[in-house]
Chain A
Amino acid sequence: MEKLKTLSDFKELKERLDAGREPDRPTIIIPAGTCGQASGANDLIRAAKREIIARELSEKVRLVITGCHGFCQMEPSVLVEPARTFYPRVDTKGMARIVEAVAQGKVVEELLFLDPATGKRIEKQDDMPFFKKQARTILARSERVDPIRLYHYFESGGYSSLVKVLEKGNRAWVIEEIKASGLRGRGGAGFPTGLKWELLAKQTNGKGKFLVCNADEGDPGAYMDRSVLEGNPHSIIEGMIIGAYGTGATEGVVYVRTEYPLAIKHLRIALRQAREFGLLGENILGSGFSFDIQLVKGAGAFVCGEETALMRSVEGKMGEPRQRPPFPTERGIQGKPTAINNVETWANVPIIFTEGAKAFAKVGTKGNSGTKIFSLVGKVQNTGLVEVPMGITIGEIVQEIGAGPSGKAPIKAVQTGGPSGGCIPAAKFSLPIDYESLTQAGSIMGSGGMIVMDERTCMVDVAKYFTNFLKDESCGKCFTCRKGTQRMWEILDDISRGKGTLAHLDLLQELGEVVKDTTMCQLGQTAPNPVLSTLKYFRDEYLEHIQKKRCPAGVCKDLILYSISQKCTGCLACIKSCPSEAITGKAKEVHVIDAKKCIKCGACLAVCKYDAVVVT
């Protein structure tokens, strides 16, 4: 360990690292974020190490373990640099073959990605439909960096933005650059980051100021913050140090939700490294400026993503929001001025200073500059994290990057913005993605969850799901949110059970508008969005539930029946899959479902190759 005391110390180290770099040396990269590890990346790492040692290849082949690259569905995957060969869903045997091939400069043809659209194998990652349309700046950085190795981050240009800023030595310039870049908050609301920093910088407070990284990614279905924290924690730290320099903040906090153990671990290691190298603490790189960051773990409360609730949680209290103004930049944690930005916002800061504000502003559209990461999940063929320029249409993401529906049913809608957002129907897929268009369509940008729904997804059920989520997560401070979400859920539950009436729809609409108008924080103000947007675009589905007592998507349990048609070939597959032993029948004879025993789990439907299972 060598503490860096001056800017030239850093430059010397960087030069030394650059001189030792071998960009042409074949490198096997294994992404091992939470999703990678869940699919078996740890086994691949061991297999690769074993193979490299057994064949004495450690001089020839380099092995790098990184965070998530984004194409989570294909994990455990392997990327080979500098050729950029991509191998999807590798097993330990395949890993051994890849190691051998890489050492010989070859490619294992049979293990390459098979494009289902063309039936051809694709070698390079950048030629794959999933990656082609993306504009990967933040995610591309995670491809090169082992999150627990600071030197990797240095080598990929890390902390050079900080050095640039400290060399310039002009705090006002930092804020001007951020303003010029047009960066807006990636947490969902899209508040201009430069303006927020300016407000904080203007505050004069002798007791200090706070900068917070909001990593309480509560939106179910969005996980880009986890990916960035796990895969490149130093980029967040660097962004925050630059922010602190520009705004004069003295203390930093990263508030991470407790459901992300790997992100917490990697961030902890990164913070320790940054302190040991003198990048955090007193007199950073001899600039005379001091700043440190502490990690605060959440304890499982969605509302703590709201900034005033988050501040109370950091203080160790119940995470109840409070009235604004005073805004956090005036009165924040412990009464000190505080600016709170989302993980992805912070990850953009070093990029702005590397590329320059003007270059950054060129990506995307006017008023919506830069890229945005979405988690493209649900009923779509390619699922994972996609980073796209702002202004791209929903259709391009779903149909081209996502390659259309995952099953036989066509895509019906996408849900953006999580529980605060809404559902956008397929007819509106030509909508460009920016903060304003999504809000106009009755949804919001949110933190970037994009859940694709097909004809087998029931919109009443989706609305009920989100309302159930929100009634549990409402902190209870405002009456209309506490009781309104509860009552809305009860009505939706009735409708999903076939007990709804037409009057219920008017009541839902009215309740939704009241909750929107009369609650204090963003949670309550946006809580009715899932209900109101589905009522607006999918009213016919509600009517079907109410008038015909049926669920057209075949989801609402009380309104459906499973049966087996004459198409059944008697293959026994469904009998084996049924967890409740509700299906009987002999081989080569049509099977029968006992409606009393059937738990309507859909296991038979999933295994039947002959479309014989019918939901009515």
Chain B
Amino acid sequence: MMKPFVLVEGGLKKYRGLCSTCDNSITCTFPRDPNLPVMECEEFQGETISPEVTMSIVEKHEDEQGKLISILEDMQTRYGYLPESALKVVAEGTGQSLVDVYGVATFYKAFSLKPRGKHLISACLGTACHVRNAPRVVEEFERQLRLKPGEMTPDKQFTLETVNCLGACALGPIVVVDGHYFSQVDTPQVKRIIQRAKSGLDKTDVKADEKIFPVKVRCPHCNRSLMDSSHPLDGNPSIRVTASFGTAHGALWLSSLYGSYTVESEDEIPRDTVLNFFCPHCHAELLGAANCVECGAPMIPMIVKEGGMVKICSRQGCKGHLLDLEGVNW
């Protein structure tokens, strides 16, 4: 789930941009410098490894079937790899011997006992990719990055891994960088892929990208417009709603660009908070859409003037949003 940056500007807490390095991370720290591109957040350096955090992961999976693998998976997401000290805590917490825990951690390919770089490059070496020259592509990555599969560059920027099959065999050779798929990769492309990863694959230019476009929305109860032209965001009128959590209750502005995640609010909203949304005109609660497919929190419905619905996740920082032209929940 994505965590926003907080900038304090003129008394308003601004949530601008989203960190793309730690897509899977439960906690994202804030960027060193708010002016830097989003990829520069500190999260990829790995979280401080603490016995408390590790224990909390162990406890989360208390009653599960085959919990050890889930625990290690969560831990890897959190720390980027499986640190020895954390494995010891897991052994203690689950009552299994360290040998058993270590056995599982080394048996499965998805686990890494070594820290991994900011960008993870996974090159597919499935059969279909193999016959289409994937080994040469891997060699080219090795040559460009000066490392072997499984290793990290000294500047901690890249880790190269090979995987057995990513299941997109008709488009091979496949390379996945930070969750982005590249298909039919050949050796001359390798350099460009590395460069694109460096400059950030998730970065979008909100103004120039034609896939990001404005939508105008209305309250599903009173049908009045929620657009606020006195408070523009991303150069367009924003969507104004009232948001509440705990005792706080204040205005919240969302970018009306479908594809932008810019949010501003009167109150500082702690990350992961599930908010209640209300119409600023009729004060009715905006409710009734299905749950977010990303995180399971309720989705907030708003009517699109031209037909259909926009649904946004009510959890602060969650990237789940949907422009649903049919307006059906299930």
- By a beta-carbon cutoff of 8 Å, the part of chain A in contact with chain B is 1, 34-35, 37-39, 43, 46-47, 49-50, 52-54, 56-59, 62-63, 72-73, 75, 92, 148-151, 217-223, 226-227, 253, 258-261, 265, 269, 272-273, 294, 296-302, 313-319, 375-379, 383-385, 415, 418, 449, 451, 453, 457, 462, 465-466, 469, 473, 475, 576-580, 599-603, 606
Contact = CB atoms under 8 A, between A and B. Distances in A.
Contact of A297 (B70, B109, B182): B70
Given A218-B164, A451-B127, 13 more contacts: A35-B168, A50-B211, A62-B326, A220-B165, A226-B167, A258-B110, A300-B164, A318-B104, A375-B128, A378-B128, A475-B107, A577-B188, A579-B144
Nearest to B71: A316
Contact of A269 (B110, B133, B293): B293
A377 B330 contact: no
Contacts of A37: 181
A35 B140 contact: no
A384 B170 CA distance: 5
B88 interface: no
Interface string B306-330: 1110000000000000010110111
Nearest to B308: A58
A606 B308 CA distance: 47
Nearest to A320: B107
Contacts of B191: 579
Nearest to B61: A316
Contacts of A451: 127-128, 131
Nearest to A38: B181
B63 to A, nearest CB: 11
Contacts of B109: 299-301
Name the 3 nearest CB pairs between A and B, nearest first: A58-B307, A316-B66, A300-B109
Interface size class on chain B is 35 or more
B169 A148 contact: no
B196 interface: no
A143 B205 CA distance: 33
A478 B25 CA distance: 39
Contacts of B166: 34, 259
Nearest to A71: B170
Residue from B72, B103, B136, B212 with most neighbouring chain A CB atoms (10 Å): B136
A63 B211 contact: no
Nearest to B96: A316
A450 B183 CA distance: 19
Contact of A453 (B131, B169, B304, B326): B131
Nearest to A44: B211
Interface in B67-102: 67-70, 72-73, 100
Given A149-B330, A378-B131, A92 B210 contact: yes
Nearest to A301: B108
A453 to B, nearest CB: 6
A265 B107 CA distance: 25
Nearest to B67: A316
B42 interface: no
Given A221-B126, A383-B170, A297 B211 contact: no
A299 B127 contact: no
13 contacts: A35-B183, A38-B181, A39-B183, A217-B165, A220-B126, A220-B128, A259-B165, A272-B291, A316-B104, A375-B170, A377-B127, A449-B128, A599-B187
Contacts of B136: 599-602
A468 to B, nearest CB: 9
A223 B328 contact: no
Interface in B262-285: none
B132 interface: yes
Contacts of A469: 164
A543 to B, nearest CB: 22
Contact of A316 (B68, B326, B330): B68
B259 interface: yes
B230 interface: no
Contacts of B181: 34, 37-38
Given A39-B171, A221-B127, A299 B66 contact: no
A35 B187 contact: no
B130 A465 contact: yes
Question: What secondary structure prevails in chain A residues at the interface with B?
Answer: mixed
Given A53-B306, A56-B306, A58-B306, A223 B108 contact: no
Contacts of A449: 127-128, 169
B111 interface: yes
Contacts of A316: 65-70, 104
B258 interface: yes
B174 interface: yes
A544 to B, nearest CB: 19
Contacts of A466: 127
A298 B329 CA distance: 31
B1 interface: no
B252 interface: no
Interface string B102-132: 0110011111000000000000011111111
B290 interface: yes
Q: Which of B108, B126, B169, B328 has the most CB of A within 10 A?
A: B169
Q: Which of A38, A222, A600 has the most CB of B within 10 A?
A: A38
Interface in B155-173: 163-172
Contact of A462 (B125, B131, B133, B167): B131
Given A49-B325, A58-B308, A222-B169, A297 B183 contact: no
B217 to A, nearest CB: 11
A473 B70 CA distance: 21
A601 B140 contact: yes
A581 B73 CA distance: 42
A460 to B, nearest CB: 13
A7 B111 CA distance: 45
B170 A377 contact: yes
B139 A599 contact: yes
B154 interface: no
Contacts of B213: 46, 50, 53-54
B187 A220 contact: no
Contact of A72 (B171, B188, B290): B171
A34 B326 CA distance: 24
Given A35-B170, A314-B65, A599-B139, A150 B330 contact: yes
B51 interface: no
A38 B168 contact: yes
Nearest to B259: A46
A603 B191 CA distance: 13
Contact of B132 (A46, A378, A462): A378
Contact of A223 (B100, B169, B306): B169
B296 interface: yes
Contact of A313 (B69, B163, B168, B290): B69
Contact of B211 (A47, A377, A384): A47
B325 A52 contact: yes
Nearest to A70: B170
B190 interface: yes
B143 interface: yes
Contacts of B125: 220
B143 A73 contact: no
B186 interface: yes
Contact of B163 (A226, A259, A273, A576): A259
Nearest to A149: B330
Contact of B164 (A149, A220, A376): A220
